[in-house]
Chain A
Amino acid sequence: MEVVLQTLVDGLVVGAFYSLIALGYTMVFGIIKLLNFAHGDLYMLGAFIGFSLLSWLTGDGTGAAGLMGIGVVFLLAMFLVGVIGMGMERLAYRPLLLAPRLSILITAIGVSLFLENGAMIVWSPNFLVYPLQLPQDGWEIFGAHISYTQAALIAISALLMYGLQLFIQRTIYGKAMRAIALDQTACHLMGIDVHRVIGLTFFIGASLAAGAGVMSGAYYGTVNFMMGFIIGLKAFTAAVLGGIGSIPGAMLGGFLLGMMETAGTFLIGGSWKDVVAFSVLILILVLKPTGIMGEKVTERM
């Protein structure tokens, strides 16, 4: 019982990170049908920018950042990476929106290489220790340990996702996004500034990934310039699992993947957890190619 509950909690935390990153994937894919392979690197950038801001705030880790300080750093990192994400779209993807799929995919790989190696030059290739100690104490529920940090991370993620859901359902920009995902040409004719909305989509996706980056940096304690790559793949898996293009699907997929991985780690050992993730992905794609919440895509003729 406690094991199940513990797995559930740990899985929820990992799943929250996956969900936040998967959202960016799914939004970008939904709107311009691009697999943005550089998205995982935005998560890495978020973690690093958070690291630099926190180091600066605490004076190289000697002081302690208050809750307020952490909050400011969190939001600032999200904003900065959001701007980087927008710049990425403007410089690298926009000229290629009409190009074949493969060219834009290669561009995404180029951007990813650029960001990874840029981060390596700026922050050194070493593992850096996050200048932040999060409390380990928490509640004991039925023998499972839930730290305050875990609870807070899950809460923050849920809040961000709820905010996004509201934004997409209630605001005019959210409406425009949904419309563009359906038919770009018609939107253009209707006077929607398509590029602006696409830029906004990148901004939101990038800042959510950055939020996940700061949180996971604080949670795991170390950051490295390669950290974005594998988690980008996982988030992608999560997005596909939930049905790519679907926002609730990305959230669900992230949580499910996080839990399956944690369960897999418990059952067959940590070194196999990626096999679990990818096997699930392949099974889902073969059995139900649209994912759990994806819409049926009519075959193009």
Chain B
Amino acid sequence: MKQQVRRLLQLLLLLLAIVFPFGVNNYWLDVATLVLFYVVLSQGLNVVVGFAGLLDLGYAAFFAVGAYTTGILMTVYGWSFWMTIPVAILLAAISGVIIGAPTLRLRSDYLAIVTLGFGEIIRILAINLDITGSASGIYGIPRPSIVGYTLSGQSDFYYLILLLAILTILAVSRLGRSRIGRAWMYIREDEDAAEAMGINRIRMKLLAYSIGAVIGSLAGSVFAVKMSAIAPLSFSFMQSIMILLAVVLGGLGSIPGVVLGALLVIVLPEVLRSAEDWRYLIFGAALVVMMIYRPQGVWPARYEAVPERQSRDKSAAAAGSLTESDGRSRELS
């Protein structure tokens, strides 16, 4: 029964998303498109941070890998958009392994910093290399076409990214419930115990990085053709932070939560737009208040497998990946 209600709700939401472009003006359509980009990106990061518990502060780098791969291949070599996607996927998977491999031994804070460093390096490379068009970026990226129909209007790209978002959500939620997903969650909760249970820690972590990277780069490829111009500014540290915010605000490891988080991160500053200069100030303060009163996110993940231990599981999920009993005293509460 509950299952059916949920199905119905999901269908309704999907329908709403499909008819959405007909009911709104261009401005809100643009905002909605951006939300969908964030849905894809934050689901990708959800695999890395939410499932596997690897704090990544440089996720926008993968977004950049996809965007630049598509941008360069289309403008310099004249490839078709659809042909660039496999290359973007391949490059992203490789860069995921490159970032992942040396960092596997590190503790969570150091891991965060290394990923941050990689993100900055990718951005600075994009600013300084000739092939990436240096600071002004790449422009004049052609429109993609499907069997003769050229995607050009705003709603065309809305549907393209909607499709990608739906595919991503399906893939990530299935991954989360699969054998691999469970392995990730064991690693997140206790790495040593997971290894003792026969999980190949290194392979699983690399897989998490690579899958997250591939999802991020797909969003990047679509972003490149949607904007038809890309610049290093779009792949800054702030971008990585906003994606991470979406994941944490929504609830680590929770698929619907992360979708909601993406919506909040984009729509809240837009709603606050009338507040002009004050909006990011308010946003910052709201974040602090949010973390104090609801640190587990708006829609935390629930694990229903072990009902009698649900309350404990819930708190474990709320605590997310990075809970560590690291000498922080209980008395301080």
A contact residues vs B (CB 8 Å cutoff): 29, 32-33, 35, 91-92, 95-107, 109-118, 120-121, 183-185, 188-189, 194-195, 229, 233, 236-237, 240, 244, 271-272, 274-275, 278-279, 281-282, 285-286, 289, 297, 300-301
Contacting residue for A300 out of B105, B283, B325, CB 8 A: B325
B114/A285 in contact, CB under 8 A: yes
Closest 3 CB pairs of A and B: A110-B287, A113-B284, A114-B284
- Distance (whole angstroms) from the CB of A191 to the closest CB of chain B: 12
A188/B331 in contact, CB under 8 A: yes
Known contacts A297-B107, A301-B192; can you find 14 more A-B pairs with CB under 8 A? A33-B326, A33-B328, A35-B112, A106-B248, A107-B292, A110-B287, A121-B277, A121-B278, A278-B118, A278-B124, A285-B106, A285-B113, A289-B105, A289-B110
- Complex formed: what's the CA distance from A121 to B113 in Å? 30
Would you list which residues of chain B between 196 and 255 have a CB under 8 Å from chain A?
A: 237, 241, 244-245, 248, 252
B107/A117 in contact, CB under 8 A: no
B245/A106 in contact, CB under 8 A: yes
A274/B124 in contact, CB under 8 A: yes
Which residues of chain B have C-beta atoms less than 8 A from A185's C-beta? 327, 329-331
- Distance (whole angstroms) from the CB of A294 to the closest CB of chain B: 10
Interface membership of B295, Cβ < 8 A: yes
- Complex formed: what's the CA distance from A148 to B187 in Å? 56
Q: From DSSP, what is the main secondary structure of chain B's interface residues? A: helix
Interface membership of B332, Cβ < 8 A: yes
Interface membership of B285, Cβ < 8 A: yes
A100/B327 in contact, CB under 8 A: no
Number of A-B residue pairs with CB-CB distance less than 8 Å in the complex they form: 169
A110/B330 in contact, CB under 8 A: no
B283/A113 in contact, CB under 8 A: yes
- Distance (whole angstroms) from the CB of A85 to the closest CB of chain B: 15
A92/B288 in contact, CB under 8 A: yes
- Distance (whole angstroms) from the CB of A225 to the closest CB of chain B: 11
Which residues of chain A have C-beta atoms less than 8 A from B130's C-beta? none
Nearest chain B residue, comparing its CB with the CB of A280 = B117
Which residues of chain B have C-beta atoms less than 8 A from A95's C-beta? 292
- Distance (whole angstroms) from the CB of B282 to the closest CB of chain A: 9
Given A109-B241, A113-B284, answer yes or no on A104-B124 (Cβ-Cβ < 8 Å).
no
Given A102-B252, A118-B281, A286-B102, answer yes or no on A184-B319 (Cβ-Cβ < 8 Å).
no
Output the residue of A106, A112, A114 with the most chain B CB within 10 A.
Answer: A106
Given A100-B323, A111-B284, A113-B284, answer yes or no on A289-B106 (Cβ-Cβ < 8 Å).
yes
Can you show 17 pairs from A to B with CB atoms below 8 A apart? Answer: A32-B328, A97-B332, A100-B318, A102-B55, A107-B292, A113-B280, A114-B288, A116-B284, A117-B277, A117-B278, A118-B281, A121-B278, A271-B128, A274-B120, A275-B124, A279-B117, A297-B107
- Complex formed: what's the CA distance from A97 to B237 in Å? 25
Interface membership of B12, Cβ < 8 A: no
- Distance (whole angstroms) from the CB of A242 to the closest CB of chain B: 13
Interface membership of B116, Cβ < 8 A: yes
- Complex formed: what's the CA distance from A272 to B134 in Å? 13
Nearest chain A residue, comparing its CB with the CB of B244 = A106
Given A120-B277, A289-B106, answer yes or no on A96-B295 (Cβ-Cβ < 8 Å).
yes
Which residues of chain A have C-beta atoms less than 8 A from B118's C-beta? 278, 282
Interface size of B by Cβ–Cβ distance < 8 Å?
A: 60
- Distance (whole angstroms) from the CB of B144 to the closest CB of chain A: 33
- Distance (whole angstroms) from the CB of A230 to the closest CB of chain B: 9
B125/A300 in contact, CB under 8 A: no
- Complex formed: what's the CA distance from A197 to B30 in Å? 49
Which residues of chain A have C-beta atoms less than 8 A from B113's C-beta? 35, 236-237, 240, 281, 285
- Complex formed: what's the CA distance from A236 to B114 in Å? 11
- Complex formed: what's the CA distance from A103 to B107 in Å? 17
- Distance (whole angstroms) from the CB of B136 to the closest CB of chain A: 14
- Distance (whole angstroms) from the CB of B188 to the closest CB of chain A: 11
Interface membership of B270, Cβ < 8 A: no
A107/B124 in contact, CB under 8 A: no
- Distance (whole angstroms) from the CB of B168 to the closest CB of chain A: 22
- Distance (whole angstroms) from the CB of A58 to the closest CB of chain B: 28
Given A106-B287, A107-B292, answer yes or no on A98-B241 (Cβ-Cβ < 8 Å).
no
A114/B285 in contact, CB under 8 A: yes
- Distance (whole angstroms) from the CB of A56 to the closest CB of chain B: 23
A117/B284 in contact, CB under 8 A: yes
Interface membership of B156, Cβ < 8 A: no
Nearest chain B residue, comparing its CB with the CB of A188 = B331
- Complex formed: what's the CA distance from A233 to B329 in Å? 28
A279/B292 in contact, CB under 8 A: no
- Distance (whole angstroms) from the CB of B298 to the closest CB of chain A: 13
- Distance (whole angstroms) from the CB of B50 to the closest CB of chain A: 10
Which residues of chain A have C-beta atoms less than 8 A from B3's C-beta? none
Contacting residue for A279 out of B121, B252, B319, B330, CB 8 A: B121
- Complex formed: what's the CA distance from A110 to B281 in Å? 9
A117/B281 in contact, CB under 8 A: yes
B288/A281 in contact, CB under 8 A: no
Output the residue of A102, A281, A297 with the most chain B CB within 10 A.
Answer: A102
A100/B295 in contact, CB under 8 A: yes
A101/B329 in contact, CB under 8 A: no
Which residues of chain B have C-beta atoms less than 8 A from A236's C-beta? 113
- Complex formed: what's the CA distance from A32 to B295 in Å? 18
Nearest chain A residue, comparing its CB with the CB of B120 = A278
B323/A101 in contact, CB under 8 A: yes
Interface membership of B4, Cβ < 8 A: no
B332/A103 in contact, CB under 8 A: no
- Complex formed: what's the CA distance from A285 to B288 in Å? 30
